[in-house]
Amino acid sequence: MNFWTKAAGLILRNRYLVLLIIALITAFLASQMKYIKFSYTEANLLPEDHQANLEYNKFLEIFGEEGNLVILGVKDSTVFTPEKFNAWNKLVAQFDEREEIDFTISIADVQKLKADRKNRKFILEPLYEENPTTVEEVNAIKKQLFEKLPFYDNLLFNKETGTLQTAIYIKKEIINTPKRRDFIFKVLIPAIEKFEKENNLDVRVSGMPYIRTLNAQNIQDEILLFVVGALGITALIFFFFFRSFRATFITLLVVIIGVVWAFGFIGLFGYEITVLTALIPPLIIVIGVPNAVFLINKYQQEIKKHGQQAKALQRVISKVGNATLMTNITTASGFATFVFVKSNLLREFGILASVNIISIFILALLIIPIIYSFMPLPKKKHLSHLETKWIENVVNWMEKMVKNQRITIYFATVIVIVLSIIGIYKIKVSGSLIEDMPKKTTFYKDIKFFEKEFGGIMPLEILIDTKKDNGVMKLSTLKKMEELNETIETFPELSKPISVVNLVKYSKQAYYKGNPKYYQLPTNQEQSYIFSYTKNSNSDAGMLKTFVDSTGRYARITTFMKDIGTDKMDIIQKRLKAVIAKEFPADKYTVTLTGKALVFIKGTNYLINNLVLSLSLAILLIAIFMAWMFRSPQMILISLIPNMLPLLITAGLMGFLDIPIKPSTILVFSIAFGISVDDTIHFLAKYRQELIANKWKIKPSVYAALRETGVSMFYTSIVLFFGFLVFTLSSFGGTIALGGLVSVTLLLAMVSNLLLLPSLLLTFEKKIANKKVFKEPKIRIFPTEEEKTE
């Protein structure tokens, strides 16, 4: 007796115990679900010790978290009427009092810098004392702001369009905690909605904390949509094929337990829900259903053959168990290759996916036969789908093609390969933080609004280390920074930079009685007496600490960038680095470009290199696996060609359809490859078995294998196709692309495995027809004929 026959006896004899163990594990994992956390930061795609991460962390050490700014904007000329103007300032003032807020900057907070000649220092005066009551008063404030205070241009207003902007800085301690979420949903959004209603104004809101919070909420809402959608659509197709409520119910039960386990493992491992881990539960549904298709199909075929339940159930476990174990191991190993990637985000995804794929296999293998053992035999109508006319026609057509049209199949394959390669050359890479975000949401439209009015919302930081204390305030350093500022202003993709330079220019303007034409850097003569005023005043010290650290050694230049892809960013970086190299000699200064968005872009490039690695690893793993299974070098080649083809086509499609490679679409290849190899294993294992039965005659064996595995492959591919299509319901661009591309790839893989694979076997029959090639394989995937007739 072989292992599987023993296992079958053991499972069926101890069925109550097995069910009890499954129930206990499910209860334990369900209790772990309360530890699931939602991600409050952007996914960090780079390893901890990567240069870009080290530079970013150094910046955070000196100046603190940079993504803590929420901005409100309003573009409406009626805001300059007394009621609305005062209401706008009152709205911001009420946030300022909250404990979650560090400080706010709005027009009401604007302070004018003035030179106090008597005490030789600068003092701050409010822009206006009392709330304006007439339109004239408001216009006077507006005129003073727009014409006399260039320091605040592009910070609090856009001179050309009259758009007002207000900055709300959230406390850095709470920025990556659930408190941020509560503030945005329970305080900020209700207050703004109330203000809009009362004043009939449209307020735009943006900034990284706000975008992250709404985005995380979107991910949460979609998990439920995906799980329900995947369950619904797979159950529907399953019922359509099997026409049996009983079979559909059993499958759903297995899959639902699988989903509980999936969520339980996320909690147990202490992982966060990110854009990727959110895909695990629906992925388990989609991968779990084909297991059930193979097991239930086999059970029904056995019942139809001899009508004995005990024998049929034993055979389901012993015959299909092995083949499904192999296919699940290959799928899991496709995902497990992500474990070798240094990126935490992908590593967690890989671990969760592979653990869950193996668990759903074990669940299906145990639950399906045990539940059937409690049920009466299937009726004749439940077996009628085994003789469905249209499926038979499909299989007949495939057989005919493989028999008579092999040249056509090869010709089509070559054309497809050529087209795909052309497409691959068109693929773009995108490393944008907000590109995947739902385009229809208000917060996405608001991002675009701020990009147009103020030049972007994603901070790009330049950190300047002068290598000595108080080195920043030297005039030579300030002039170098001014050069860099001017370069930044030439890029339409970047906003006007803000740094200590702006503050020094403002000091000179204040020294010359607030005349805006003196808003410039002081000359060498002016420097000494303007700086002496600065030393005596504590008023602009508060402003200064935002741009210069306490030792005066480090300065920052902040600009905001539009949502641009990796290509444009590379050009901008090159030009900025050229100016930096020219202006800041390396022996005296260290200048680094950093910021959340830049780290993300670098992360994307890093991921792509890792994708190639993990995919090559998956292909190598499966090649070794085939060699071990069939002990034949030719078979490795024949089995890999039909699976590489769909990947090529998908990459080509991405080029033609303008779908960029980004963190979300990178997974398509590994998922598709891991799943499509299953079909090959099923086919080749059956083919091997037929070879032995047909005394090594290749032709009849190929056709028999095609007839037998064709139906199951067809069923599972259709289930997988529609299962992955569920992801296209998402509002995230990347998830939609992932769903659509995997669906198409799997359909192509089925066609490739049912047409190209048998054709290759027949064409190379002379090479592989000797018994030596098929030595007795390491693993017996299918039983021999003697065992069959027992």
C-alpha torsion sign, points 486, 487, 491, 493: negative
Which has more confidence, 322 or 49?
A: 49
pTM score of the predicted model: 0.79
**256-280 mean pLDDT:** 88
Backbone phi and psi for residue 131, each to the nearest 5 degrees, phi listed first: -60, 130
Mean of the per-residue pLDDT values for the chain?
83
Amino acid letter, residue 397: W
Q: What is the Cα–Cα distance from 1 to 12, expressed in whole angstroms?
A: 16
pLDDT at 42: 67
Which has more confidence, 613 or 410?
A: 410
**219-235 mean pLDDT:** 85
User: Max alpha carbon distance in the chain (Å)?
Assistant: 111
pLDDT at 785: 43
Which has more confidence, 707 or 351?
A: 351
Q: What is the Cα–Cα distance from 176 to 656, expressed in whole angstroms?
A: 39
**678-699 mean pLDDT:** 79
Per DSSP, 229 falls in state: H
Q: What is the Cα–Cα distance from 534 to 469, expressed in whole angstroms?
A: 17
pLDDT at 768: 58
Percent pLDDT > 90 in the chain is 16
**308-321 mean pLDDT:** 82
Residue 781 has pLDDT above 70, yes or no: no
Determine the straight-line distance between the first and last CA of the chain, rounded to whole angstroms. Answer: 12
Binned at pLDDT 50, 70 and 90, residue 45 comes out as: confident
Residue 29 has pLDDT above 90, yes or no: yes
**Residue 470, CB-side half-sphere exposure with 13 Å CA sphere:** 2
**16-29 mean pLDDT:** 94
Binned at pLDDT 50, 70 and 90, residue 786 comes out as: very low
pLDDT at 784: 46
The alpha carbons of the chain give a radius of gyration, in whole angstroms, of 33
| pLDDT tens, position by position, 473-499 | 888 999 999 999 999 999 888 889 999
pLDDT at 421: 92
Structure-block tokens of residue 526: 């002016």
Residue 788 has pLDDT above 60, yes or no: no
pLDDT at 538: 65
Structure-block tokens of residue 495: 């906003």
37-38 and 272-273 beta bridge pairing: parallel
Which of 463, 526, 459, 473 is CA-nearest to residue 503?
473
| pLDDT tens, position by position, 617-653 | 878 877 887 777 777 777 788 888 888 888 888 889 8
| pLDDT tens, position by position, 756-768 | 888 888 887 666 5
How many other β-carbons are positioned within 10 Å of the β-carbon of residue 93? 13
| pLDDT tens, position by position, 419-459 | 999 998 988 877 677 777 777 888 888 988 988 888 888 88
The answer to whether residues 592 and 463 touch, using CB atoms and an 8 Å cutoff, is yes
